[in-house]
């Protein structure tokens, strides 16, 4: 037995010496550079690849199977003159004996100067697509599969366990220096590049932590963007479990370009990444994000990677100055009345989504002095379908609106001059001539609606606010519900409390036609009128609590177009009203005194005229509101009238008949006392001029007053004739005389 063992030992020693000698002979006597043409032809036939080897091929056989390529290019055989890859150096070596055990033990893998130039032509075809798909020769039949070939030779096919057993990897390191990737799409005009790619790893062994470091410079032309990024972490993988982890991940860098308007974004991402392909799950735990001043924490999980992926997780953004952050990344903000607006921002939310949707659920948002809760979602990213459901405590919208323009170069500037002149001429005692009707347009022709955006808008909005401040008006318990789809914006509900009153409105905007169509149904109940009529230059001409019900429609895309095309109906009632700075009682006293041929002895009792009610209905046609049933009740008198409100120039033209009881004060003015002859007479007023004048636009109608005087004089003459003639005058003559004086 000892002799047999010695003989076997000598045999294997000799065999090993022969193998070593053969390896020495092959590596020193065989030169692979002599077979470059055969290698190129093999690449062409088997992979449809045009391989150009300009440099030498270096190799070793034992104990390392080594390969070194220099100065090589690759191109598709269909476009041999358009290489998509070139390589300065590729060096690798593999231990021979472990290969027999399906183990890959490699030394350092080194790749220097790799350039990939990937292009799609105008037809969308890539210059790399034909590689690896050689066309079968004419008349050839597909080669039988390995398992079929083994069965034909009487060999048993490999078991599933043997086929699925992964090759064991053991690589000392991987080094990629100065690599570059360039992608161009001629059809879309897009370009993407990654330059100065540097990749280094530690020893690559399954089940161990592998240090990884990757850095590169990136660039795109749509939009024009440049970025520098660096990734560090420790990679761990288990191919049997299909589990891959990147521990201690840190991605950092800087970006600048068109999206940032010349500013620079400095960013960093940290966390623990896990991809489990067996469970089809990917997770990013311990997420930390920083972008200039922004700091955020979160966690992300994606399920069903093999189907429609589903995202879930959470995100928390620490308080930051949103205005400074947006300015720092080149996102200009529109002018705002408050220069400190957007100074405070904070957000906490749960995330849910799919590849085509994203939802921020259980949202807690703080913006300056406002707090909101609810949901923000994009239900369809391709259509930008926005869903908003929020509840908030308060919002001062005036802070975020543009400041009022100091110099307005529109039609309203000319009208302001016209109104100012009318006010100065009107005076306060009604003794000036009747004002002229206004002529200047009161509305701007500037386009207001973003038509193109509204035609694409897909929106569902539900907003509840405890308090909203808008145009210096405080609205409580605001509820807003609206939706937009297929070019139709629908205001489903808008209601709230304003002062001691309330409002409720519905509306619709149809932007599908070339000229948008608008409609509005509105109801106001006991709304204070004064805040909406006063301005910085002038007090409100009228006060009171307004009830209004209106059904209106119009068309166009500017204030002027909307008013010019305004049609519909409305009814109104004003309670507890006051005509400011206009004493109608004094004017009527003057009229009575004129008829009495006396001069009033008492000065006016006050500047204003209170009234109990003012009501009527309006029919609107092309911006002019006609009213034929105006009724008003003032202590001591009542009035009714008819006329027009020209909303195009904000002017009024009314004829009003006033029935008075005279001076009912404890110490009445004798000149203003109404005798029995005046009972039931309607005293005529004519109101004309800008709406801003209010009751200052009203004057006694001299023509109508003359008719009343004639009637009164005729009545007195008839009485005297009756006294003189008695029964001598026939009834027919008496009627004729009365009719004469009533003309």
702-725 and 731-741 helices, crossing angle to 10°: 160
pLDDT digits (tens, 9 = 90+) for 704-725: 666 666 666 655 544 554 454 4
| Overall average pLDDT of the 221-248 stretch | 93
**In the chain, what's the furthest Cα-to-Cα distance?**
181
For 345-358, what is each residue's pLDDT tens digit?
999 999 999 999 99
Q: What is the mean pLDDT of residues 582-606?
A: 63
Report whether pLDDT(220) > 70: yes
Average pLDDT of the chain, as a whole number: 80
Tokens of 248: 């201690």
Q: Is the pLDDT of residue 430 over 60?
A: no
pLDDT in tens, 19-70: 444 444 445 555 667 767 777 787 778 778 888 888 877 766 556 667 778 8
- Report the candidate in 56, 71, 88, 51 with the shortest Cα–Cα distance to residue 178: 88
Burial 223-253 (b: 16+ CB within 10 A, else e): eebebebebbbebbbeeeeebbbbeebebbb
CA pair distance 326, 333, nearest whole angstrom: 8
Token pair 């008949």 is found at: 657
pLDDT at 182 over 50: yes
pLDDT, mean of residues 140-157: 47
Query: Looking at the predicted structure, is the pLDDT value of residue 188 above 80?
Result: yes
Alpha carbon distance 267, 285 (integer Å): 18
Q: Is the Cβ–Cβ distance between 151 and 144 less than 8 Å?
A: no
Residue 674: what pLDDT?
Answer: 57
For 617-673, the pLDDT digits (tens) are 999 999 999 999 998 887 667 888 999 999 999 899 988 887 766 555 555 555 565
Structure tokens at 278: 């067996």
Residue 249 bridge partners (DSSP):
271
Of residues 543, 463, 472, the one with CA closest to residue 495: 463
Residues 734, 735, 736, 740, CA torsion sign:
positive
Give the closest residue to 381 by CA, choosing from 298, 311, 302, 315. Answer: 311
Instruction: Name the residue among 736, 733, 742 with its Cα closest to residue 715.
Output: 742
Instruction: Report the pLDDT averaged over residues 481-490.
Output: 95
How confident is the model over 282-308, as pLDDT tens digits?
999 999 999 999 999 999 999 999 999
Indicate whether 149 pLDDT > 50. no
SS3 at position 290: strand
- In angstroms, rounded to a whole number, what is the distance separating the alpha carbons of residues 235 and 206? 10
pTM: 0.76
Spatial contact of 557 and 525, defined as CB atoms under 8 Å apart = no
Q: Is the pLDDT of residue 739 over 50?
A: no
Query: Which pairs with CB-CB distance under 8 Å and at least 24 residues apart come from 270-273?
Result: 272/245, 272/246, 272/247, 272/248, 273/233, 273/245, 273/246, 273/247, 273/249
Cβ(642)–Cβ(655) below 8 Å: yes
- Cα 434 to Cα 479, 600, 606, 631: the distances in Å are 45, 22, 22, 22
Strand pairing category for 168-171 and 103-106: parallel
Q: Residues 503, 527: contact at Cβ < 8 Å?
A: yes
* Distance of alpha carbon 696 from alpha carbon 583, whole angstroms: 9
* Alpha-carbon gap, residue 691 to 419, rounded angstroms: 9
In this prediction, residue 582 carries a pLDDT of: 62
User: CA 501, CA 478: separation in Å to the nearest integer?
Assistant: 13
What is the percentage of the chain residues whose pLDDT exceeds 70?
73
- The single-letter DSSP state of residue 45 is H
Element (H, E) at 461: strand 458-470
């Amino acid at each position: 037995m000892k002799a047999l063992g010695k003989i076997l030992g000598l045999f294997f020693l000799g065999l090993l010496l022969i193998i070593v000698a053969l390896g020495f002979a092959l590596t020193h006597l065989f030169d692979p550079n002599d077979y470059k043409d055969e290698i190129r032809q093999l690449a062409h036939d088997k992979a449809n690849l045009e391989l150009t080897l300009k440099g030498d091929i270096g190799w070793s056989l034992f104990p390392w199977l080594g390969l070194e390529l220099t100065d090589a290019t690759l191109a598709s055989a269909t476009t041999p003159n358009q290489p998509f890859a070139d390589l300065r150096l590729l060096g690798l070596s593999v231990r021979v004996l472990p290969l027999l055990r399906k183990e890959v033990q490699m030394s350092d893998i080194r790749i220097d100067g790799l350039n990939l130039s990937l292009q799609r032509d105008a037809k969308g075809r890539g210059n790399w697509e034909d590689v690896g798909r050689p066309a079968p020769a004419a008349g050839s039949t597909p080669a039988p599969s390995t398992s079929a070939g083994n069965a034909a030779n009487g060999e048993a096919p490999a078991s599933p366990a043997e086929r699925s057993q992964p090759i064991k990897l053991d690589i000392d390191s991987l080094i990629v220096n100065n690599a570059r990737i360039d992608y161009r799409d001629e059809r879309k005009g897009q370009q993407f590049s990654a330059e100065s790619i540097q990749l280094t790893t530690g020893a690559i062994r399954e089940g161990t932590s592998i240090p990884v470091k990757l850095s590169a410079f990136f660039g795109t032309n749509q939009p024009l963007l440049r970025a520098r990024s660096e990734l560090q972490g420790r990679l761990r993988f288990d191919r049997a479990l299909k589990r891959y982890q990147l521990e201690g991940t840190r991605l950092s860098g800087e970006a600048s370009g068109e999206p940032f308007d010349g500013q620079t974004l400095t960013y960093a991402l940290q966390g623990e990444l896990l991809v489990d392909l067996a469970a089809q799950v990917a997770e990013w735990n311990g997420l930390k994000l920083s972008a200039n001043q922004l700091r955020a924490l979160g966690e992300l999980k994606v399920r069903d990677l093999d189907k429609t992926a589903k995202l879930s997780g959470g995100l928390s953004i620490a308080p930051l100055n949103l205005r400074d952050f947006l300015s720092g990344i080149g996102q200009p903000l529109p002018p705002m009345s408050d220069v400190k607006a957007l100074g405070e921002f904070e957000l906490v939310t749960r995330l849910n989504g799919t590849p085509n949707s994203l939802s921020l659920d259980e949202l807690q948002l703080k913006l300056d002095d406002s707090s909101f809760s609810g949901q923000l979602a994009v239900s369809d990213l391709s259509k930008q379908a926005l869903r908003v459901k929020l509840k908030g405590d308060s919002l001062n919208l005036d802070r975020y609106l543009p400041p009022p323009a100091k110099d307005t170069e529109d039609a309203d500037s000319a009208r302001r001059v016209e109104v100012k002149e009318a006010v100065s001429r009107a005076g306060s005692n009604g003794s000036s001539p009747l004002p002229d009707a206004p002529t200047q347009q009161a509305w701007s022709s500037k386009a207001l609606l973003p038509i193109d955006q509204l035609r694409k808008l897909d929106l569902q909005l539900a907003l509840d606010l405890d308090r909203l401040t808008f145009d210096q008006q405080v609205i409580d318990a605001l509820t807003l519900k609206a939706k937009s789809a297929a070019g139709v914006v629908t205001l489903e509900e808008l209601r709230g409390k304003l002062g001691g009153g309330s409002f409720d409105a519905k509306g619709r905007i149809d932007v599908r036609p070339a000229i948008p169509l608008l409609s509005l149904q509105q109801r106001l109940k006991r709304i204070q009128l004064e805040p909406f009529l006063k301005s910085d230059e002038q007090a409100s001409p009228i006060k009171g609590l307004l009830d209004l019900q209106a059904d209106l429609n119009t068309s166009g895309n500017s204030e002027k177009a909307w008013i010019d095309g305004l049609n519909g109906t409305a009814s109104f009632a004003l309670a507890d009203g006051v005509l400011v700075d206009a004493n109608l009682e004094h004017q009527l006293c003057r009229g009575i005194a004129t008829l009495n041929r006396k001069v009033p002895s008492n000065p006016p009792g006050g500047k204003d005229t209170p009234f109990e009610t003012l009501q009527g209905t309006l029919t609107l046609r092309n911006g002019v509101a006609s009213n034929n049933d105006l009724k008003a009740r003032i202590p001591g008198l009542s009035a009714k009238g008819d006329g027009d409100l020209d909303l195009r120039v904000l002017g009024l033209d009314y004829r009003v008949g006033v029935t008075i009881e005279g001076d009912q004060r404890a110490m009445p003015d004798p000149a203003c006392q109404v005798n029995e002859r005046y009972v039931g007479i309607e005293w005529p007023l004519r109101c004309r001029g800008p709406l801003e004048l209010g009751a200052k636009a009203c004057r006694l109608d001299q023509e109508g007053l003359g008719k009343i005087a004639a009637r009164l004089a005729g009545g007195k003459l008839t009485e005297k004739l009756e006294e003189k003639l008695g029964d001598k005058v026939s009834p027919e003559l008496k009627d004729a005389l009365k009719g004469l004086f009533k003309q």
